[in-house]
Amino acid sequence: MPNVNMVESANAAAVADWLEQRLARALSETEGSVAITVPGGSTPFPIFEELVQRELDFARLLVWPGDDRIVPEDHPASNTGKIRALFEQVGAEVVTLTEMEQVPHFAIAWLGMGADGHIASLFPNTDPKSDDPLAMRRLTPDPLPPEAPFDRITLTMPSLLASDEILFTLGGSAEKRELFEAAARDENDLPIARFLAASRQPVTCFA
């Protein structure tokens, strides 16, 4: 798997250690802000809770959700609202995604992956492409996930690929790992496979 470093035993503390090291280095290399993009869903939140306890200059950290459901931020389905509640208490800035927003270069693009091979809200039915001319898209997954039947707003592949490093967290799922590894070998045409094929930076995957 070119460019991909698979890491075993993906507990929250181990991923937070990795993020702390990378973010500390990125912050030391500039006097300005450092932007990262992060996933929603259940897997990242224990990691967020670990990360916000670390000694980092969070006031210079700009946190972008990679995608979100189009609901108010106080809605239970909003990733942004939950991310904001954790990161703003330590001084980081959390961005609300809008289609007019200009997307920065990210120090880290952190992604999850669905069982259907989607990343962010780039589902197979949306036919995502690595040369998408738009930085962000509003779209409708098909089928709509029953646990979150909402339209989405998402960063596109070029926005996610504009990053120094890429991190995946699979939450310990053997099925997701098998799918991810097949995509990295270019054995399918799912969004994850297209994304990995277009990546040129280091990719770390906590399985």
pLDDT digit string, tens, across residues 54-92: 999 999 999 999 999 999 999 999 999 999 999 999 999
C-alpha neighbours within 13 Å on the C-beta side of residue 140: 4
Supply the pLDDT for residue 112: 95
Give the chain's domains with CATH numbers.
Answer: 4-206 (3.40.50.1360)
- Give the model's pLDDT for residue 1: 55
pTM: 0.94
CA-to-CA dists, residue 62 to 31, 96, 138, angstroms: 13, 11, 22
pLDDT digits (tens, 9 = 90+) for 88-145: 999 999 999 997 778 999 999 999 999 999 999 999 999 999 999 999 999 998 888 7
pLDDT of residue 37: 98
Nearest to residue 63, comparing CAs of 27, 35, 96, 24? Answer: 35
In the chain, DSSP assigns E strands to: 4-7, 34-38, 61-65, 67-69, 93-94, 106-111, 136-139, 152-155, 163-169, 203-206
Please measure the distance between the N-terminal and C-terminal CA atoms of the chain and give it in whole angstroms.
Answer: 14
